[in-house]
Chains A and B, each alone.
Chain A
Amino acid sequence: MGCGASVPQNGGGGKPVTRVQPAPAQPVSEAQSAISFQPTRSNRSSLEKINSLTDRASPEQVLANLLEGNLRFLDGAVAHPHQDFSRVQAIKAKQKPLAAILGCADSRVPAEIVFDQGFGDVFVCRVAGNIATPEEIASLEYAVLDLGVKVVMVLGHTRCGAVKAALSGKAFPGFIDTLVDHLDVAISRVNSMSAKAHQAIKDGDVDMLDRVVKENVKYQVQRCQRSTIIQESLQSGKLLLVGAVYDLDTGKVAVSVTKGGTNDL
C-alpha cells in the first residue's frame, strides 16, 4: 500500500467497514455527496500510517484517518499517536490540526480518546447538545480559516441528556432553557414527520431520543454551512463537513451526513 498517498481501496489490506449511506427520503431534499471512504483495520503499523498523513492530505483522507482511529479504539489496539513529549514540544509554537470537531460536553465522549488522536491533531469544540452557537461557529471558522482544518465534524451521541431534557418539555431553572431553544428545531422536525413519531416523542421513547439526536446533528451541520467561511471552503473542495453520531453502548462513530469534499467539485 502506498504511504497514505491515496484512500485505501477495497481489498487493499483490510475489509471496508464503514460506508456513507445516502440518507432515507427526507421532507426537504438536499444534495448528499455519495462519498464512500473506507476506513480499514490496517495490517500496517498504525503509527507509521498516521505519521504519513501530512497537511497535503485530502479532506477524505483526513476523515478516513479519524474513523480509523475510532476503529483502533474499538479493537483495543490504540496507537496513542502524538502523545509523546517531543510532539508536545514540536507544536507548542503553532497548532496545525487537520480536523475540527463540534461535540457534546458529555463526559462519556472524549473526542481525542474516541478517535485515538493526540496533541495538535483535533481542534475540539464542546457544548451540551453539540449545538452550533455563534461562538462555537466562530471557533470553527477560526479553525478553518487560520488553522486550515480539512474536516469539520459535528459529533452527536446516543441518549444525549440535553436532547432528553429538551424532549421532556419540562421547565428548568437557570440557563438550561437556552439549550432547549437550539434543540427545539430538531424536535419539531421529527415531530412533524408522522403522527407515530409525534406519539413516540410524547411517550418518551428512547429510540425517538436517538432519532432526534441524529436530526439535531443534521440541523447543526446545516447551521455550520451558513457560515461564509465554511461555505467558501466547501465550495473550493478544501473542506469536508460531516455529521456523525457516537454510540454510547459500543463506542462506534457512524457518519450520517457529508457535505463538500473533493468529490463535490
Chain B
Amino acid sequence: MFATLGRSQAGEASAMMGTGSALLAQRAAALGGASALEYLREGNKRFVTNKPHDAHPTRNLDRVKATAGGQKPFAAFLSCADSRVPVEIIFDQGFGDVFVTRVAGNIVTNEITASLEFGTAVLGSKVLMVLGHSACGAVAATMNGAAVPGVISSLYYSISPACKKAKAGDVDAAIAENVKVQMEQLKVSPVLQALVKEGKLKIVGGVYDLATGKVTEIA
C-alpha cells in the first residue's frame, strides 16, 4: 500500500497531492472549525495512500521554529500509548498540529481531562477524538482479568465497564465500546460540555486498524 519514496519521487507525488502551501491553507481553514474533522480524515487518507513524508510542510525544523512562540493545534486526541499508533504519523500531521494525550487503553483520568480541557478551551482545538485501536493489549488484559503486579491494574477500573458491556472474549467489541465509554466520561467535564454546546468543539470516536492503517469513526 505504501513504501518510503526517494526524494525525486517525493517531488512528483507532492505535485500530485498538492504543495506545502496548499496544505497549510487547508490547515488554517481547519482552525476555523468548519472542516477540522475533514482535515483529519484527509490526513489519514494521505497516510493510507502513501503521502511522501519528505514534503510534509509541518515536519521540519522551520516549523519547529515557527511554532516555538506558541501552539495552535486544530485537533486534540486521547489515544493509546501503544508503539504501533503514532498519532501524528497516522494522520500525516506535524509540529503544532495536534494536541495528544496518550495512556494505555486511551482512558479518561482527572489529569487527562485536565490536559484536554487545556488543549481545547485554552489552545483552541476544534475536534477532540478518542482513538482506540485493534489488538489493544490493555483492553485484552482487562478482559482477561488476571492479577498483575505494580499499579498496572489501576487501568482496569476505567476499562472494565466496556468489557462488561461486550461479549466475553470479544476484544474488538470491547475496544469499540471502550472508546464510547471514554467519550461519555469526557463529557462529564463542564468545560468540554460548554464548548460542545457553543458549537466550538466536536467530540468524536475512532478505532485505528493496525493492519491497514485506516481510522474508522464510530458513533
For the complex, what is the distance from the CA of A177 to the CA of B3, rounded to whole Å?
45
Encode A196-232 as 1/0 by CB contact (under 8 A) with B: 0000000000000000000000000000000111000
Q: Is B45 positioned at the interface, with any CB of A under 8 Å from its CB?
A: no
Q: Is A51 positioned at the interface, with any CB of B under 8 Å from its CB?
A: no
Supposing A119-B83, A123-B81 touch, asked if A139 and B100 sit within 8 A by C-beta, the answer is no
Q: Is A257 positioned at the interface, with any CB of B under 8 Å from its CB?
A: no
Instruction: Out of A110, A125, A142, A159, name the residue touching B95 (CB < 8 Å).
Output: A110
Interface size for B (C-beta < 8 A) is 68
Q: B100 touching A135 by the CB < 8 A rule?
A: no
Q: Is B94 positioned at the interface, with any CB of A under 8 Å from its CB?
A: yes
From B158, which residue of chain A is reached at the shortest CB distance? A135
Q: A141 touching B84 by the CB < 8 A rule?
A: no
Encode B61-73 as 1/0 by CB contact (under 8 A) with A: 1001101100101
Q: B138 touching A142 by the CB < 8 A rule?
A: yes
Q: Is A155 positioned at the interface, with any CB of B under 8 Å from its CB?
A: no
Instruction: Out of A105, A176, A228, A248, name the residue touching B68 (CB < 8 Å).
Output: A248
Q: Is B1 positioned at the interface, with any CB of A under 8 Å from its CB?
A: yes
From A88, which residue of chain B is reached at the shortest CB distance? B213
Q: Is B161 positioned at the interface, with any CB of A under 8 Å from its CB?
A: no
Encode A106-129 as 1/0 by CB contact (under 8 A) with B: 111010110001111111111111
Encode A8-23 as 1/0 by CB contact (under 8 A) with B: 0000000000000000
Q: B83 touching A227 by the CB < 8 A rule?
A: no
**Distance (whole angstroms) from the CB of A142 to the closest CB of chain B:** 5
Encode A217-256 as 1/0 by CB contact (under 8 A) with B: 0000000000111000000000000000000111100000
Q: B99 touching A105 by the CB < 8 A rule?
A: yes
Q: A110 touching B68 by the CB < 8 A rule?
A: no
Q: A141 touching B150 by the CB < 8 A rule?
A: yes
Stretch of A28-36, A55-63, A77-85 contacting B (4+ beta carbons < 8 Å): A77-85
**Distance (whole angstroms) from the CB of B64 to the closest CB of chain A:** 4
Encode B113-125 as 1/0 by CB contact (under 8 A) with A: 1110111011100
For the complex, what is the distance from the CA of A107 to the CA of B23, rounded to whole Å?
18
Residues in A whose Cβ lies below 8 Å from that of B154: 134-135, 138
Q: Is A24 positioned at the interface, with any CB of B under 8 Å from its CB?
A: no
Q: Is A143 positioned at the interface, with any CB of B under 8 Å from its CB?
A: yes
Beyond known contacts A107-B71, A112-B89, A138-B154: 4 more, CB 8 A cutoff: A95-B84, A138-B150, A177-B114, A229-B150
A interface vs B, CB < 8 Å? Answer: 73-74, 76, 78, 80, 83-85, 88-89, 91-93, 95, 97, 100, 105-108, 110, 112-113, 117-129, 131, 133-139, 141-143, 145-147, 159, 161-162, 165, 173-179, 182, 227-229, 248-251
Which 8 A/B pairs are nearest by Cβ-Cβ distance? A128-B115, A174-B191, A139-B104, A97-B83, A175-B114, A107-B73, A229-B150, A110-B88
27 of the cross-chain contacts (CB-CB < 8 Å) are A84-B3, A84-B4, A85-B213, A88-B211, A92-B134, A92-B210, A95-B82, A107-B73, A107-B100, A110-B87, A118-B86, A123-B82, A124-B81, A125-B103, A128-B118, A128-B119, A134-B151, A143-B81, A145-B149, A145-B150, A161-B118, A174-B191, A178-B114, A228-B150, A248-B64, A248-B67, A251-B64
